[in-house]
Chain A
Amino acid sequence: MAALCRDCFGDPGEARVCPVCGGGRIVRHGELNSLTMAHVDCDAFYASVEKRDRPELAARPVLVGGGTRGVVAASCYVARMYGVRSAMPMFKALQACPDAVVIKPDFQKYAAVARVIRGMMEALTPLVQPLSIDEAVLDLRGTEAVHGAPAATVLARFARRVETEVGVTVSVGLAANRLMAKIAAGRDKPRGFCVIGAEAASLLAPEPVRLLPGIGPALAKKLEAMGITRLGQLQALDARTARAKLGEDGLSLVARARGEDARSVSIERETKSVSAETTFEADISGTAALERHLWRLSEKVAGRLKAADLAAGGVVLKLKTASFVSRTRAHRLANPTQLPDVLFEAARGLLAREADGTAFRLIGIGASPLAEGSAADPPDLADPAGPKRLAAQAAIDALRGKFGAAAVVRGRGFSSPKAKG
């Protein structure tokens, strides 16, 4: 079986400790030197960057995130031992781990670090598809001759280089396709290197269905109602049953449960959604107050869409109740838009059905699906006021461009004492 020492990149053969460097981090796999699809994920990225810059925190639990009402954006591995996870509300995290050092996120710093790492990835293969700030897939097919080494070795060198030059650690998953590479990357965290080859299906079979990306709580519940809790049971469904019971996506779900995935790596980063949300200082139940926040967020999303030359084909409203129940409601727009008014009106319609006196702690609005910016706000014969609205927005944008975002504020962005929620 092919083997690789992750410290000196030599071949340790059958030895448990590398005979060359004495290191113990050895990967072994029958397909080690033939697999080329990799998933790279930085370990507790924001927290790792902060620890790098403040070495005195190395052994302390570190949480990156905002305020007592905010959520944990990243939790270091020390904090994870206390049960803290990313996306956990900060106050809960602090209940679990009262000694944690909370650091306000510095996204510009993280983005700069991510760019350096991305540069290193792009030196390995042109086929790098970033999935988020700290995650990317790399297709290393056909690069062996260039590097003079198989993908596995190239990746091990890369992981080492990130550690020494950037000062954070990454976990690498190497497999035959994107899905298995992602699953592999998650299996050996942190500082991991996991290889999955032809054994994908048998490896997945005993796992709970939730392991599969794309199976969320709702789908898991539905599957459980059908008596399916393990991926092996999903694998066993024949095509007809899958379609009948799981609908159109049934077949692809079964294929993924078997570890099959035909997605290729695309270089252009696909922005899947543009959104903005805010957590309130104190819970809000009044419609007027919720709408004021919604309006500001609508403007934010509209601005981001315009900046990215994208448009909203639909609007997603996100709410979180005081008791942490999330509600998302979606609405498809007749025409893609970049206008805050249109986003707001659609989201307001959705909000009207939810704002029934329930106290909310968070509101958010997202644009999904996304369309190209050039398709935004086409002339509409059924909307005689359209051209006027576009002209008004263009005037506002021009003023803001010159004098700053606060130069023009729409009336509905102001709060009035009467309308206090």
Chain B
Amino acid sequence: MKFKADRAILLRALAHVQSVVEKRNTIPILANVMIAVRDGRLTFTATDMEIAIVEDVAATATRNGACTAPAATLYDIVRKLPDNAEVELDHPGGDAQLALRAGRYATSLVVLPTEDFPSMTAGTLPHKFSLPAHTLRALIDRTKFAISTEETRYYLNGIYMHATESDGQKVLRAVATDGHRLARVEEPLPAGAGAMPGVIMPRKTINEVRKLLDEVSEDVEIALSDTRIQFKAGTITLTSKLIDGTFPEYERVIPHDNDKVLRVGSKDFADAVARVSAISSERSKPVKLSLARDLLVLSASSPEQGTATEELDGERVSYEAGPLEIGFQARYLNDITDQISEKVEFRFKDGSMPTVVQDVSDTSALYVLMPMRV
């Protein structure tokens, strides 16, 4: 195997693969990237046995062949090469070391046999559809923060995606919850997704896909089965296992009769929350919202540090229901307001029941937030 490629192109591809490789290094070859040239085409492959990423890399290939080398080391070397360097990789085959040359720099790396490199098969993926990159990005960004990290309820460690109906419209829905908050986002159902099963995409997969979406502007092709999901974006194919579990019947926890409505500018609200919550370093301390007609008072207190309050009056909030006091974790409020650019609508039942939060001008996303005792 022998090829030459631009440092920038190599670096980009290596950045993708080194982020997928197994970091804990339990199985040495999982820390490696497989570099293969077949019929003049160069591909990088990396896997942690849960996710596999395959990327076509533009290069001038002069000899077929393949080897596996440590992804992190290669990435580090290529990152440190000068900007416009042309990099040559040369592997004569067998146990020989992989030679890397760029200008007057040369290194040779120990390789592991390609036969030992695990292949993650996707199997047949009967459900295929495509989504514009920005749509997939919007689905992920507005649900990702609510993914649980709790290990016992592993079925919450991802985003649940399924096809359903909402107000008579067929939609593709993404849902995540950690028990304290829930995020539900929907987009019009793309062609081909109608018969898809509900799937739970693991957090690491979501994070990897999300990173790739920063570099992609065209459509992303998605294909899935009950157990696997595959994303194709440009020259990159990412295949992942799905979480084998049953996502809770989340619809049952979304309140429909919350009638106390507060509307407030997202930025006004977020800034006020940040200011009053600065008093307490304890993350789990609640911010209290005290509501009266067209008045919102945010307050927080810490036994060590003191108290803070901020008033938002009728110029900035509208609220017509009776007085209400309710508390939330500041970070949970911010996670939601971060996703809302203009005006936020809170729909309360009372101080202890789940609260619904939505963007006034965009109802495709719905958030449910559990109050804390104040």
- B334 CB, nearest partner CB in chain A, Å: 18
Whether A379 sits at the interface, judged by CB under 8 Å, is yes
Residue pair A381, B180 in contact (C-beta under 8 Å): yes
Interface size on B, residues (CB 8 A): 22
Contact with B along A375-399 (1 / 0, CB 8 A): 0001111111000000000000000
Whether B182 sits at the interface, judged by CB under 8 Å, is yes
Assuming the A-B contacts A374-B373, A379-B354, are A335 and B250 also in contact, with contact meaning beta carbons closer than 8 angstroms in the complex?
A: no
Interface size class of chain A, counting residues whose CB lies under 8 Å from the partner chain: 10 to 19
Whether B156 sits at the interface, judged by CB under 8 Å, is yes
Our pick among A331, A333, A379, A384 for the contact of B370 (Cβ within 8 Å) is A379
Residue pair B182, A381 in contact (C-beta under 8 Å): yes
Which residues in A have their C-beta under 8 angstroms from that of B153? 334, 382
Q: A333: nearest residue on chain B (CB-CB)?
A: B152
Query: In the complex, what distance in Å separates the CA atom of A377 from the CA atom of B208?
Result: 35
Residue pair A334, B370 in contact (C-beta under 8 Å): no
Q: B369: nearest residue on chain A (CB-CB)?
A: A381
Residue pair B373, A382 in contact (C-beta under 8 Å): no
Query: In the complex, what distance in Å separates the CA atom of A54 from the CA atom of B182?
Result: 65
Our pick among A331, A374, A381 for the contact of B354 (Cβ within 8 Å) is A381
Query: In the complex, what distance in Å separates the CA atom of A381 from the CA atom of B369?
Result: 8
Residue pair B179, A381 in contact (C-beta under 8 Å): yes
B:152-185 near A, CB below 8 Å: 152-153, 156, 177-182
Residue pair A384, B179 in contact (C-beta under 8 Å): no
Query: In the complex, what distance in Å separates the CA atom of A228 from the CA atom of B177?
Result: 49
Q: Is the interface of B mostly helix, strand, loop or mixed?
A: loop
Which residues in B have their C-beta under 8 angstroms from that of A331? 152
Residue pair A384, B250 in contact (C-beta under 8 Å): yes
Whether B253 sits at the interface, judged by CB under 8 Å, is yes
Residue pair B370, A378 in contact (C-beta under 8 Å): yes
Residue pair B250, A381 in contact (C-beta under 8 Å): yes
Contact with B along A353-378 (1 / 0, CB 8 A): 00000000000000000000010001
Residue pair A334, B150 in contact (C-beta under 8 Å): yes
Which residues in B have their C-beta under 8 angstroms from that of A335? 179
Whether B368 sits at the interface, judged by CB under 8 Å, is yes
Whether B214 sits at the interface, judged by CB under 8 Å, is no
A:307-341 near B, CB below 8 Å: 331-335
Assuming the A-B contacts A334-B150, A334-B152, A334-B153, are A382 and B178 also in contact, with contact meaning beta carbons closer than 8 angstroms in the complex?
A: yes
- B365 CB, nearest partner CB in chain A, Å: 16
Residue pair A382, B177 in contact (C-beta under 8 Å): yes
- A377 CB, nearest partner CB in chain B, Å: 12
Q: 8 closest pairs, A vs B, by CB?
A: A384-B252, A382-B179, A380-B179, A381-B182, A381-B253, A382-B177, A334-B150, A381-B177
Known: A381-B250, A382-B153. 8 other contacts (CB 8 A): A332-B152, A334-B179, A381-B253, A381-B354, A382-B156, A382-B179, A382-B253, A383-B248
